Structures are given as structure tokens and as C-alpha cells.
């Protein structure tokens, strides 16, 4: 009968000890440095292992201890995230979909925003150099791990991918640093030395090399964090981020008509798309060509991610939003407000002012990589530069993707270039 009374007593004592331990952990965690943050939120403390050993004779009770401790820890971390009202947003896209333009909607938010432009560029470059190509599985894991740490304001993992390797956490090689307003603020702007660091100056001021420790501190002081990337292939690979109690993350997937994307890439990346340019001039195109199969793979990845998001599985419920570039180009203010409302971040006057100024830009200020464009004119501009036979190839390999996103197929050269016929369906993207 002694066991009958001992088990409840042990349970009560254990709960008291666990509660005290969590309070100690909470106090210590406020003082701990970034490099000591546990990589795995599921990691248990040494105390749990001791407790399990001491209670080996009560396996079911030991299991309860671990379960209760984990629930306490997850609840504590979640409440801390909610208390700070800190939001995390990952803007997912592919190249030439207008992601730099849309990313500026968040970059211009103001002093409460920490925005990063394509940090995964370094990861992709390093993995390609090391393997001679990109291994999809290795890339997906590396991308996810780097994103997690950046959302937590830890630059140490990204630092290991920067070439040349930063010295004392200082680098002159961060990709497109000037595209992040938060990395050009006075608090992270080191002295500028003319003739030495001139090509690393920011938009608003001339800065020397970037101190990643200072960048981390700036990030920690910001209320919200947004990262823009065109390198994540599958939304499913990001599930651990959605399930991490330290993050309150939302995913915004930006898509664009694949025919428009190809037309834009043929201009921006002429060397890589020289075969497409030759085909456009008169050469025959086979669906078995490597470039065509690559286009199909890209379309399939985009569609599969969108289908996963629109199905709203439990881990993505309330965390996914699909936006078409064409809708943003035509109604930039309305779509910006919708994205801000979805992400839970305040829409500021600075954002409104930037949108008004940069969606009515003249041709003189609109370059291939510019974020200043008369957006309404960009929507179907591709229709007058992409030959009909190339459009047909895209339609054949990307048909399901075009259908899902509401892009109409063209059946003739006349239809392709007829301005009176819109190729964009009015479509609301709700759960499947």
C-alpha cells in the first residue's frame, strides 16, 4: 500500500521542482548570449535525465514528468513570443516575380522592422561550390536552419556560409546589404573609408564593413522580422519553423504568370537563357530539352507549395497567404494592407508614402532590377515580347500551375497580343 500513497507525493514534489527549475531557466535565459540558445526547442535539461533515472521503477510516471515539463516549457516560450507581440514573416517567391518590389513593402515599415534581403544567397553559393551542384535535401535543411537562426537574430550560422569568412564577425561581403534599411541604420553603420570600402555603402549613408554582432543586436531591438527569399523550393520543408514555439511565423507566397517570368528572365539573365532566345528567333523546341524540363520542375514546385498552403494543414492553419504579382501591380495599396493585416504588423504612413511614390515611376527610373516602376504597366507587358511559340511551350509544361493561379491560356498570336483580352482571371485564393 506504500506505493499507492508514494506516487501522488512524488508527482507533487516533482511538479514543484520543475516549476522552480523553469523559473531559474527563465531568469538565466534573459542573460544568456545568442550562441548559447538551444538549437532544438525539444531539448530537455540534465535535471530531466536525473529524474528519469531516479524513477526508473515508475516508467509511466517518468513519462508524465517529461510530458508535463515539455508542455510547461513550450507554453512558457509561446507566451513570451505573444507577450512581445513579435511577428516573423517569410516572403517566398522565385526570381523575376516582383519579390524585391513586394519586399520593399516591409522594408519601408519603419523603425520596428528588421528586414533581410536574400540571405540564403550565401548558402546556395557555398553549397554549389562545395558539391558542384545543389543537393535538394541538403539545401532544404541548410536553408531552414539558417532561416530559423536569422529569425532568432543569430547570424552565426549564416556567417559560416559567407565567403570570404568574416573576421571577428565583420564582413564586407554580405549580399545586397544596401537592400535592408535596418542594416544601413546609424547603429550598425561603421566608419566609411573612401577608396577602401566605397562599394559597400548603403542607400541612405556611406558605411564601412558590416559588424554582424551589431546587426544581431539591432535585430533583437526590432519588433518584427521579415525575410525575403527566392531559394526555398518546397513549403513543406519549413514545417519545423511553424512548429517552433519561439517563432510566430507567417508565410506569404508570391506567384506570377510563368510566361511573364520566363520573358523577364530572358532579359535579365540573357547568358543563361541564350537557348530560349535562339528558340524565340526560329529554332525548334523539344519538351525533352533540359531547359524545358527545368522550367517544368520550377512550375511544379511552385504549384505543390501553393496546394499545400491552400489545403491549410494543422501546422499551416492561419499561417499561409498566396498573392499574385499581377494583383499587387494593379492594386498595390490594397494588397499591401491585406498582407500587413495577415501578418499582424502595423501598416505605417512610411509604407503608404513609399507605395504611392514607387508605383508611379517614370521609364527613366525603371531598370531591370529597379523596385521603382509604374506597376500597372508591368502586369502584361510580357505579352508583346514573348513569341507565341514560346508561350505555347510554357503552357504545355506549366498548364496545371497556370490553371491553379488563374492565368488564361492563349490559342493564337492574335490573342496573345490583344490588349482587350485579359489573361488574368478574377480569383480569390481560399483554402482548398
* pLDDT tens, position by position, 12-22: 444 444 444 44
Q: Tell me how far apart the alpha carbons of residues 161 and 146 are, in angstroms, rounded to a whole number.
A: 10
| pLDDT value, residue 427 | 93
Strands (E), 147-231: 170-171, 210-211, 224-229
Read off the pTM: 0.78
Among candidates 396, 354, 391, which has minimal Cα distance to 375?
Answer: 354
pLDDT at 73 over 60: no
Alpha helix ranges (H) inside 229-348: 239-242, 258-268, 274-281, 290-311, 325-330, 332-343
| pLDDT value, residue 132 | 67
Q: How confident is the model at residue 75 (pLDDT cuts 50, 70, 90)?
A: low
Length of the chain, in residues: 432
Q: How confident is the model at residue 11 (pLDDT cuts 50, 70, 90)?
A: very low
pLDDT at 405 over 70: yes
Q: Tell me how far apart the alpha carbons of residues 106 and 94 are, in angstroms, rounded to a whole number.
A: 18
* Cross-strand pairs, 211: 170
For 308-363, how does the pLDDT look when each residue is reduced to its tens digit (9 = 90+)?
999 999 999 999 999 999 999 999 999 999 999 999 999 999 999 999 999 875 54
| pLDDT value, residue 394 | 98
For 363-374, how does the pLDDT look when each residue is reduced to its tens digit (9 = 90+)?
444 444 445 555
DSSP 407: B
**Would residue 143 count as lying in a domain?**
no
Average pLDDT estimate for 202-230: 92
Average pLDDT estimate for 30-36: 37
Q: How confident is the model at residue 192 (pLDDT cuts 50, 70, 90)?
A: low
pLDDT at 116 over 70: yes
Among candidates 152, 153, 99, 105, which has minimal Cα distance to 121?
Answer: 99
Distance of CA 345 to the CA centre of its chain: 16
**Would residue 50 count as lying in a domain?**
yes
Mean pLDDT, the chain, rounded, equals: 82
Question: In this structure, how many other beta carbons lie within 10 angstroms of the beta carbon of residue 277?
Answer: 14
| pLDDT value, residue 195 | 57
Higher pLDDT, 191 or 54: 191
Average pLDDT estimate for 129-137: 76
**Would residue 187 count as lying in a domain?**
no
| Beta-carbon-side half-sphere exposure of residue 345 (alpha carbons within 13 Å) | 31
pLDDT at 216 over 50: yes
Give the angle 100-259-275 at the CA atoms, nearest 5°.
100
**Would residue 18 count as lying in a domain?**
yes
For 46, the domain range is: 2-83
For every residue of 331-397, DSSP letters joined together read: SHHHHHHHHHHHHT-PPPHHHHHHHHHHTS--GGG--TT-S---GGGTTTGGGGTS-HHHHHHHHHH
Percent of the chain with pLDDT over 90: 65
pLDDT at 70 over 70: no
Cell of 54: 531516479
| pLDDT value, residue 47 | 32
**Would residue 24 count as lying in a domain?**
yes
**Would residue 60 count as lying in a domain?**
yes
**Would residue 416 count as lying in a domain?**
no
Q: How confident is the model at residue 76 (pLDDT cuts 50, 70, 90)?
A: low
Higher pLDDT, 222 or 80: 222
> Side by side, which strands form the sheet with 224-229?
113-117, 224-229, 87-92, 249-255, 320-324
DSSP-based three-state secondary structure for 228 = strand
Q: How confident is the model at residue 58 (pLDDT cuts 50, 70, 90)?
A: very low
Helices and strands in the chain: count of H runs, count of E runs: 18, 7
Counted domains in the chain: 1
Among candidates 318, 313, 298, which has minimal Cα distance to 255?
Answer: 298
For 86-110, how does the pLDDT look when each residue is reduced to its tens digit (9 = 90+)?
999 999 999 999 999 999 999 999 9
**Would residue 192 count as lying in a domain?**
no
> CB-based burial of residue 237 (10 Å sphere; 0-12 exposed, 13-18 middle, 19+ buried)?
middle
Please give the C-alpha separations between residue 361 and each of 278, 295, 337, 427, in angstroms, as whole numbers.
Answer: 32, 31, 21, 27
Contact 202, 140 (CB under 8 A): no
Among candidates 255, 254, 263, which has minimal Cα distance to 391?
Answer: 263
For 275-317, how does the pLDDT look when each residue is reduced to its tens digit (9 = 90+)?
999 999 887 889 989 999 999 999 999 999 999 999 999 999 9
For 38-47, how does the pLDDT look when each residue is reduced to its tens digit (9 = 90+)?
344 444 333 3
Q: How confident is the model at residue 202 (pLDDT cuts 50, 70, 90)?
A: confident
| pLDDT value, residue 130 | 77
Higher pLDDT, 26 or 404: 404
Amino acid at each position: 500500500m506504500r506505493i499507492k500513497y508514494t506516487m501522488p507525493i512524488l508527482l507533487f514534489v516533482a511538479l514543484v521542482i520543475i516549476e522552480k527549475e523553469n523559473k531559474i531557466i527563465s531568469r538565466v535565459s534573459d542573460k544568456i548570449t545568442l550562441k548559447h540558445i538551444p538549437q532544438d526547442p525539444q531539448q530537455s535539461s540534465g535535471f530531466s535525465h536525473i529524474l528519469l533515472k531516479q524513477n526508473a521503477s515508475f516508467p509511466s510516471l517518468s513519462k508524465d514528468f517529461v510530458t508535463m515539463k515539455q508542455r510547461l516549457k513550450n507554453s512558457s516560450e509561446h507566451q513570451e513570443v505573444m507577450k512581445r507581440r513579435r511577428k516573423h514573416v517569410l516572403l517566398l517567391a522565385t526570381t523575376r516575380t516582383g519579390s524585391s518590389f513586394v519586399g520593399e513593402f516591409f522594408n519601408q515599415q519603419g523603425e520596428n522592422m528588421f528586414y533581410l534581403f536574400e540571405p540564403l544567397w550565401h548558402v546556395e553559393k557555398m553549397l554549389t561550390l562545395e558539391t558542384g551542384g545543389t543537393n535538394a535535401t541538403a539545401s532544404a535543411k541548410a536553408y531552414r536552419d539558417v532561416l530559423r537562426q536569422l529569425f532568432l537574430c543569430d547570424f552565426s550560422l549564416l556567417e559560416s556560409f559567407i565567403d570570404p569568412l568574416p573576421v571577428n564577425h565583420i564582413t564586407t561581403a554580405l549580399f545586397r546589404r544596401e537592400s535592408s534599411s535596418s542594416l544601413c541604420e546609424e547603429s550598425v553603420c561603421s566608419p566609411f573609408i573612401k577608396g577602401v570600402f566605397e562599394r559597400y555603402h548603403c542607400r541612405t549613408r556611406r558605411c564601412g564593413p558590416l559588424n554582424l554582432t551589431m546587426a544581431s543586436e539591432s535585430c533583437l531591438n526590432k519588433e518584427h522580422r521579415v525575410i525575403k527569399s527566392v531559394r526555398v523550393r518546397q513549403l513543406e520543408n519549413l514545417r519545423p519553423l511553424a512548429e517552433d514555439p519561439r517563432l510566430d511565423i507567417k508565410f506569404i507566397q508570391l506567384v506570377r504568370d510563368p510566361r511573364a517570368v520566363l520573358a523577364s528572365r530572358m532579359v535579365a539573365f540573357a547568358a543563361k537563357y541564350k537557348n530560349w532566345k535562339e528558340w524565340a528567333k526560329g529554332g525548334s523546341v523539344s519538351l525533352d530539352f533540359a531547359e524545358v524540363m527545368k522550367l517544368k520542375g520550377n512550375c511544379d514546385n511552385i504549384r505543390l507549395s501553393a496546394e499545400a498552403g491552400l489545403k491549410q494543414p494543422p501546422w499551416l492553419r492561419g499561417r499561409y497567404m498566396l498573392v499574385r504579382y499581377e494583383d499587387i501591380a494593379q492594386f498595390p495599396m490594397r494588397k499591401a494592407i491585406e498582407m500587413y493585416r495577415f501578418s499582424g504588423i502595423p501598416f505605417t504612413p512610411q509604407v503608404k508614402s513609399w507605395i504611392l511614390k514607387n508605383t508611379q515611376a517614370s521609364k527613366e527610373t525603371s531598370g531591370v532590377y529597379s523596385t521603382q516602376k509604374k506597376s500597372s504597366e508591368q502586369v502584361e507587358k510580357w505579352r508583346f515580347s514573348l513569341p507565341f511559340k514560346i508561350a505555347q511551350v510554357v503552357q504545355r509544361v506549366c498548364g496545371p500551375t497556370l490553371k491553379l493561379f488563374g492565368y488564361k491560356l492563349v490559342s493564337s498570336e492574335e490573342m496573345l497580343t490583344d490588349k482587350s483580352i485579359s489573361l488574368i482571371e478574377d480569383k480569390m485564393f481560399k483554402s482548398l
